[in-house]
Amino acid sequence: MFAQEWPLMMFTLVSQLAIGSFLMLMVVRSLLLKQNPQEAAKLTQPGFKAVVGIMVVALVLSLFHLGTPTGAYRSILNLKTSWLSREILTAGGFLVLSFISYQAFQKEKPSSALGWITSLVGLAAVLSMSNIYSHSVRPAWMNANTYVAFFGATLALGSAGCAAFIICGGKERQLSENVAVHLKKISFIAWASVILPLIYLPIFISSLDSGNMAAVASAQLLTGSYLFVLILRGLISLVGAGSLYYALKQIGNKVPIQKWVYGSLALIAVGEFIGRYVFYGSAVSIMIGLK
């Protein structure tokens, strides 16, 4: 993989962590508001604050991919036809809206409308990222697998991130049964987001194997030099999702779970990192070999 692609790869992962975490925090916050608005605020506000910082890091990483970072503003001037311009607009919009949402949530009775709008803008950013790759000249990216990988990472990282932020926010006291119930639901989302991309992987490889020369070359990479890496990625991700479920199931049992939850987030992040590395490394351009 070319050195200049590393910042871009990290941008996609870090931004998806931020967007997914915000979305899952909104889900938990909305559920808790019905029973205990004060608890909803105390447990989720640290996470919303962290999302802003994470998204800043993501956008800084994206600048290193540009030949001239100071000219980044020019990349937004083609919204009608360019998914890159739309990605920049929606990712930047998500950062601004997430900061405004965090400030609004500190009020006594804030509305959830702004938070849900922010979540939709974040998902639009993930969709824009996906479309940039699906409209490329690399058959391995011109496939539904791109959407499965990007939205799967958003929900998997977001679910683990949300749980970690809430556990961090509630570490000074025992979490209520209501919180425990909702966090268990979040762990199921993490499970599904990890398992579904793994289930789709054989279908993806099979579709490449019946395609053009570049597609077949990508399939050979995935079943050859990257096969062990893919198996390792699957195992790490499954262990991460499993340990997250185990940890959240212990809420209320007076068992320390902070390290388990943080470790689960780390494992899922490592799994997604490996998966994204393979995503970039296995994509063969249809231009290779042409004169």
Contacts of 67 (CB under 8 A, 6+ apart): none
Residue labelled with tokens 């804030």: 110
pLDDT (0 to 100) of residue 233 = 96
The answer to whether 11 and 65 are in contact (CB under 8 A) is yes
For the chain, which residues score pLDDT lower than 70?
Answer: 1-4, 65-81, 108-109, 169-174, 252, 254-255, 287-291
DSSP letter at 130? H
Which amino acid is located at 252 in the chain? G
The tokens for 70 are: 């100071």
Taking the C-alpha atoms of residue 251 and residue 230, their distance in angstroms, rounded to an integer, is 32
pLDDT (0 to 100) of residue 276 = 95
Taking the C-alpha atoms of residue 139 and residue 159, their distance in angstroms, rounded to an integer, is 30
The tokens for 88 are: 């920049």
Domains of the chain: residue spans and CATH: 5-281 (1.20.1630.10)
pLDDT digits (tens, 9 = 90+) for 159-177: 999 999 998 866 645 677 7
Taking the C-alpha atoms of residue 265 and residue 164, their distance in angstroms, rounded to an integer, is 7
The tokens for 34 are: 């019905």
Selection from 162, 168, 131, 130 nearest residue 149 by Cα: 130
Taking the C-alpha atoms of residue 45 and residue 31, their distance in angstroms, rounded to an integer, is 15
pLDDT (0 to 100) of residue 33 = 84
pLDDT digits (tens, 9 = 90+) for 59-97: 998 887 655 555 555 556 666 668 888 898 999 999 999
The answer to whether 187 and 163 are in contact (CB under 8 A) is yes
